[in-house]
Every structure is written in C-alpha cells, then in structure tokens.
Structure 1
Amino acid sequence: MSAILRLAWQSLANRKTTALLTLLTVAISVTLLLGVERVRTQAKASFANTISGTDLIVGSRSGQVNLLLYSVFRIGNATNNIDWQSYQEISQHRAVKWAIPISLGDSHRGFRVIGTDQTYFEHYQYGNKQPLSLSKGRPFSNLFETVLGAEVAKKLNYQLDDDIVIAHGISDKAFNRHDNLPFKIVGILAPTGTPVDRSVHVSLAAIEAIHVGWESGARLGNTPDAINFANHQFEPQQITAAILGLQSKIQTFALQRYINTYKKEPLSAIMPGIALHELWGMMSVAEQALLVVSVFVVVSGLLGMLTSLLTSLNERRREMAILRAMGARPGHIFFLLVSEATVLTTVGIVIGTVLLFCILLVLQPLIQQQFGLYIAITALTSHELSLLGLIQIAGILVGSIPAVRAYRHSLADGMTIRI
C-alpha cells in the first residue's frame, strides 16, 4: 500500500502543472466555504452578544424589531418618545433593579449621539455579561463632556481633551450644528465589537441644553453658550428608550404586561433575546444563501478535480496498461487513482485552511473597523472540521469515478491502438 501511495505522489509530481491547478481550485473552494461559515457564525454570535444582562427594553408603542433596532443597534428612529415622568415611575417600580435612560436624535459626523447618565457605564453589558470599560479617561461628569466609542475615536483620530461639535438630527451640516456648545472628550471606551463603538455619549442634561433656542429642528435666533448654562440645572422632558434590569427573572412577564398596558401613554416592553431571535430570523435567507453559494463553489472545485483526473486518465492509458502488464492488479490501479484524488483533496484542504487564517490575519482589523464585526482567529470548530471531513469524503468519491473506469479497462484500453 505504501508503494502505491508513493507511486501516486510521484505521478502527481510528474503532472505538477495540472496537479497544482487542481490543488488551487480545491484550496480556494475550501477557503471560501470556511470563510463564509466563520463569518456567518461569528456574525450571529456578535449579533446575539450586542446586549447582555438586560431583561427588558422599553420604548414607545411599536414593533419589537423596530424598538430593538433604534435602541440597541442605533438604526432608524423611534415613532415617539417616552415622557420623563413615565420613565421615572417605571424605573422606581419594585421589580426594577436598575434602569438606563437613552435619548437619541443627534449625531456627530455620521455617528449617533446617545444621551444617557452614569447608569449606562455601570450597568450596560454586552457579550457574556461583559461591562463597559474605558481605555482612556473617565465617564462624563460635567454638562458639556463626552465619552466616545472606540471606533469613533479611532476613525476620526480623536484624543482626550479634544473638542467636538454635535449636529441636530442624523445629517451633519453647517446649518444644523450646535457649534456654540462644543463638547470636551473626557473618556474613550474600550472596543466591544457592538454599536457602542460607533456612539458618542453625552449626558441627558446636555441633550436638553444644546436644544435651548431650537424648535422643530431649526435654530430660532441666538442660542446661549456654555457660560450661560454654568449654574443651570436641566431635567429631561422626554427620552427615546429605557433599558431595564430586574430584581428577578420571574418578574419579567408581569412587568412587561404592566408596561404594555401602561395607562398614561402607549408603551412597549420587549425582551431583547426574543427580539434578536426574530430579527436574525428575518436575515436567515441571506445567511442560507451565502452558505449555498459556498457549497456550490466546493462542488465546482471537486468537479474540476474530476475533470482533471478524467482528462489525465485518457493520457495515461498506456501507463495503466504497463502497470497491469508488470503485475499490478485491477485493485492496485483503482487504489492508485483514488489515492491521487485523496492526496489532492487533503493537500487542498490544508492549503485552503492555511490560506483562510492568512486572510483573516490581514483582513480582521479592516472588517472590524468597517463593519464592526470581530472575527476571532481560533482553532477550527467541530462543525468546521465536519465540513472538511465531508469535503474529504466527497473528494474520495470523486476520485473513485475515474478509478472504476481504469479498473475495468486499463489493460485492454491501453493496448488498443486508437486512430
């Protein structure tokens, strides 16, 4: 058997150009399959880990996906706001352990501005109940101070003590900037791989202050500067959403029913886990489409190998006949060709896997920066190993097709003169 394996390797070396092209085809298909699978699983994990340790998210009456999108992913806008008195009443409910108010509506150079308070830095969690941490500085404490997400600071090259100007609304134009009230950067959060990295955080009081003199999104006359607000106490009138942590998980459904039937204004309370599952279900079509495309690429790679083996078999008719004439049995011929396909598939899988890790080393920071998706460079998972095992088995089966043909006709076919 070892002699046949050695012969298979020497045969492939003799046809190195064809073998290398076949290897490249298999390797690229393996790289694409593993890459798509890793992006799919990491995206799903990152998606599910965007918010953690939260029992309920409260917002104005709307669908749970819409509420999740604007409160957690900072996508879109709320249909309405929550009255501050309603928020205070809900946050002081006996079932609530902590509450984080969130106010949206402004932006800075394409990044969303989040109005909140100190509870955000104390209780907001992501991943496996990981708390937020600061890589530099401290949380805001004064009126016109801000804490930036990691991506905002990196992309705009901001440092501590730099001043930034917030714009009214999503678009950042000269006419809608609050340029009379700049904010000083006092903290930069450590990367989280979540929308927190792409957010600018200020106090709720600051959100109220910068909108003094504004009405319906327009500046009406002169607006005060920071000196005028030095000793002024601002209390929010409304917020966009609230994130709640409860004393006990058992109280979740009772509090959710209480909020959904709140009499003072129409509100919705959603459980983030269920909303995330629904949102991911809406995206599952694209997820499955990616997987199907990558599977077809692998199939095309294996068909390319089959074509190569069948073509080379036609050129090796006399080689097979000589081997038979020298005493090789039909089973030896069969095993020789299957061994060639096995070697090609195995080496292609190894090269494709190494190529995947090389690509990840280069593209990982770019993917995280551009799309906020962190793809971990870890050992192959059991699922990925099973996929590679299926490719190996498929390669052996593909190699058996020309092997069966050679098994049946090697001697007579090789000795026949074709005109």
Structure 2
Amino acid sequence: MFMLLKVALRSLLNRKATAILTVLSIMVSGFVIFGVEHIRQEAKSSFSRTVSGTDLIVGARTGQLNLLLYSVFRIGNATNNISWQSYQDLAARSDVAWTIPLSLGDSHRGYRVLGTSQDYYEHFRFGRQQALELAEGSSEMGVFGAVLGAEVANKLSYEVGDPIVLSHGTGKVSFSNHTDKPFEVIGILQPTGTPVDQTVHVSLDGIEAIHIDWQNGVKMPGPGISAEQVVERDLTPEAITAFMVGLKSKIATFRFQREVNEYRQEPLLAILPGVALSELWQMMGALENILMVISGLVLVASLLGMSTMLLASMRERQRELAVIRAVGAHPSFVFLLIELEALMLTAAGIAGAIAALWLTLISAQDLFSERYGLFIDLDFMSARVLIIIGIMFAATAVLALIPGLSAYRASLNQGLVVKT
C-alpha cells in the first residue's frame, strides 16, 4: 500500500500543473457546496432568531404569518388594533414577566415608524439573546425623541440632534406629513442585521401626540394643537397594533396563548414566534433547494473534469504504465494507481476548500452579522457536510473507474512498441 501511495504521489508531481488545476477546480466546487450548506443552515437559524427570548406575540385576530410579518418584519399592515384596556388587562396577569407594546402605521421617507415604550430597549432580544445597543446618543425618547436603526441613520445621513418629520401611512412618498410636530434624533442603534435597522423608534406618547388633532386618518381643519401644548395633555393611547410577551415560566406559554385566543372582550390572536418563523421558512424552501442543486451541479462538473483529465492523460502515460507492468506490477496495481490518484486529488481539493471556507468565515463573520443578520458559526463540520464529503469521495471513485479500466486494459506490448 505504501508503494502504491508513493508511486501515485510521484506520478501526480510529474504532472503537477494539471494536478494543481484539477485540485483548484475541486476546491472551488467544495468551497461552494460547503459554503452554501453551512450558510443555508446558519441563515435558517439566524432567521428564526430575528426575535429571540419572546414567548408570544399578541395582535388582532388574523393569520399567523400576517401577524408575524407586520410585528417583526414591518411588512404589511394589521387588520385591526388592540384596545389599550385589553393590553393592560393581559399585561397585568400574574404569569407575565414583561410586555413590549408596538404601534405601527406611520413612516419616515419609506422607513417604518415603531411606537413603543422603554421596555423595548430593556427586553427585546435578537440573534443569540443579544440586547439592543446604542452606537451613540440615548434611548430616553420622551414625547418627541426618535431612536434610529443603523440603516436609517446611514442611508439618510442622520446624526444625533437632527430634526425629522414623520408621515402618516407607510408609503415611500406621503402628502400627509406631521410637519407641525417634528421629532429630534436622540439616539442611533448599533447594527443588528434585523428589521430593527430599518426602523424609526419613537414613544407611544409621540405617536399619540402627532395624531391628537387627526381623525380617521385626516387632519382636522383649523390651526391644530402645537407641539408645546400637546405635551401637557394626556397622551395615553386608545389602541396599539400588537405587543410582545415574556412569561415568568415557559410552562405557562400554551395556557396564556389559549386564554388570549379565547379572550372575550375582543378577538385576539397569540402566536409563538419560533413556530411562525419555521412556517415562513418552509415557504422559502424552493430557493433553498435551488441553491443546493446549483452547488451539486458545480461539484459534478469539477469531478467530470477530473475524470476527463485522467482519461486524457492515459495516452501520454501509456509507456509509463507499460513500464510499471513490465517490472512485475499486476494489472490491478495500475487500476488502483489511477483510483488512488483521483482520490488524492479530491482529498487535496476538499482540504483546500475547508481551509478556504474557514478563513472566509473568520474574515466575514462581522460583515454577515451587521449587513445580513446572519450569525455564522465557525464550526461548519456538521453531519450533512461529512455526508457531502463522503459522497464526493464515492463519486470520485466511480468516475475514476473509466480511466482506471482504460489503464487496466492497456496492452503491455502496445505500450512498449515505439510508434513511427
């Protein structure tokens, strides 16, 4: 076996230019397929961690995905609101540890505005139970303070102290602006890679203040109430869009969910964020499968290229193989030599792909986290990756049968005859 390995290594070194190109081809395909598989798994995990640590999300009765989309991803709109009285009744229950009220419906230059309380900054978690952190400024919103997500501040070039005007509705362009009650940027959040980055955060009091002289989505005629006057009024909201719930005990989750779904004062729906996120991810399964098919095709192309290279080299190596046979090597030795060469090329390509992917993940980990919300683990050697490596070796052994059998059948006399 040692002799076979030594001969195979020397044979590859004699054709190092071709061998290096083949290894690079396998390395690229391995890098792609390992990378896609790992990022697919991590993306699924990060997607499910867009909101973490929240036991339930409660909103007006609608579809589970619709409630998830507008409360977490700021996509779409609520079918109805929750009365402030119902929110207080549910939040005051003995098994509730904390709640985060959410009020949606306004925007700023295409970015959604979220009205909430200080509990948002204390209890909201994303990723691996990560808390929101300020890049600069403060989160004490008051009535007319706004805390910007990282993308909002970056794309619109805002700094702490800048004034902003909110718009009624969620369109990118709005003709119903709350120009009489501007807000001031008091803080900018660190990037999270979640919808938080695309959100303008204000207080519930602020949402109520800008709508105090509006009715049914239309500003009432007249001079209106000034910003100075409105802060002296009772700004308790009449309704909110939804709220997040953290319970004192996980055991109480399903009981609390059932009680909310059977709430008699108004029709409400409570969902488990993890379950809803899994359902949403399953709807994206087609894209996931396409990525795997593309990766598989890249791998097949590289292995076929290796098989073609070995087969094409048979004519050049005919005399070399014949000499090996002439010194007493059995035909099976030649066959195993070709197989071993192919497996060595694949092993080198896989090792290179693993090293390249590991280095890439180290260098791009922060980039993935901040820009795309993907919290990539450096350990990508999962059971699925090991299965893929096994498939690569098996496919190599099968494809190497063609040049291996060609060498096996080569005639000793034909190899030694000098052609003129």
Normalised to the residue count of structure 2, the TM-score between the two structures is 0.89
Partner of 2:111: 111
Provide the rounded CA distance (Å) in 2 between the counterparts of 1:20 and 1:34: 20
Q: Is the 8 A contact 1:324 1:410 kept in 2?
A: no
Which residue in 1 is equivalent to 2:192?
192
The corresponding residue for 1:204 is: 204
Measured after TM superposition, the shift of residue 249 of structure 1 is: 2.5
Q: Give the alignment of 1:365-384 within 5 angstroms.
A: 367-368=368-369, 372-376=372-376, 378-383=378-383, 384=385
CA distance in 1 between partners of 2:265 and 2:336 (Å): 79
Give the distance between the partners of 1:220 and 1:358, measured in 2 at CA.
61
Q: What amino acid is aligned across from residue 38 of structure 1 in structure 2?
A: H
Counterpart Cα distance in 1 of 2:16 and 2:254: 67
Q: Residues 362 and 378 of structure 2 are in contact (CA less than 8 Å); yes or no, is this contact kept in structure 1?
A: no
- Whole-angstrom CA distance in 2 between matches of 1:70 and 1:337: 59
Letter in 1 for 2:8: A
1:392-411 superposed Cα distances (whole Å, 9 cap, x missing partner) = 34324433442233123352
Deviations 1:22-58 (A, max 9, x none): 2232122112101211221111111111222222211
The aligned counterpart of 2:240 is 239
State the shift of 1:62 in Å: 0.9
What residue number does 1:74 align with? Answer: 74
SS across alignment from 2:412: helix
Which runs of 5 or more residues in structure 1 are unaligned? none
Q: 1:183 to 1:357 in 2, by over 3 A?
A: farther
Which one is further off, 17-26 or 211-220? Answer: 211-220
Contact 2:192 2:373 in 1 (8 A): no
Q: Which moved further from structure 2: 325-334 or 107-116?
A: 325-334
* Aligned AA (1:101): P
CA shift, 1:193, in A, is: 3.0
Aligned equivalent of 1:250: 251
Corresponding position of 1:89: 89
Map 1:144-183; keep pairs closer than 5 Å.
Answer: 144-173=144-173, 175-183=175-183
C-alpha change, 1:253 and 1:415, in structure 2 (3 Å) is same
Does the CA-based 8 Å contact 1:111-1:199 persist in structure 2?
yes
Cα 1:273–1:42 change in 2 (3 A) is same
Q: Greater CA deviation, 66-75 or 361-370?
A: 361-370
Equivalent-residue separation in structure 2 for 1:240 and 1:182 (angstroms): 22
* C-alpha spacing 1:21/1:176, structure 2 compared with 1 (3 Å): farther
Aligned counterpart, 1:260: 261
CA contact (8 A) 1:320 1:410 kept: no
Q: 1:267 to 1:413 in 2, by over 3 A?
A: farther
Whether the aligned pair in 2 keeps the contact of 1:38 and 1:375 (CA below 8 Å) is no
**How far is the alpha carbon of 1:223 from its aligned partner?**
4.9
**How far did residue 180 of structure 1 move?**
3.0
CA RMSD across the alignment: 2.7
Counterpart-to-counterpart distance in 2, 1:389 and 1:157: 51
Q: Is the 8 A contact 2:369 2:376 kept in 1?
A: no
The whole-number CA distance in structure 1 between the counterparts of 2:6 and 2:411 is: 20
TM-score using structure 1 length? 0.89
- Equivalent pairs, count: 418
> Any idea what the Cα deviations from partners look like across 1:63-105, whole Å, max 9, x if unmatched?
1111111111222111111111111111122332221110111
Moved more, 154-163 or 231-240: 154-163
Deviates most, 361-370 or 196-205: 361-370
1:375 & 1:245 partners in 2: Cα distance? 23
Identity over aligned residues, as a percent?
48
Other-structure match for 1:283: 284
The 10-residue stretch of structure 1 (379-388 or 354-363) with the greater mean CA deviation from structure 2: 354-363
- Contact 1:317/1:410, CA 8 A, preserved across alignment: no
Structure-2 separation of matches of 1:360 and 1:109: 35
Q: Bigger shift: 9-18 or 293-302?
A: 9-18
The residue aligned with 2:323 is 322
Where structure 2 has 5 or more consecutive residues not aligned to the other structure, the ranges are none
Amino acid at match of 1:411: L
Which residue pairs with 1:300 in the alignment? Answer: 301
- Cα contact 1:116–1:204 (8 A) shared by 2: yes
* Mean Cα deviation higher: 46-55 or 398-407: 398-407
Residue identity matched to 1:31: F
**Stretch of structure 1 that moved more, 361-370 or 75-84:** 361-370
CA distance in 2, matches of 1:321, 1:252: 75
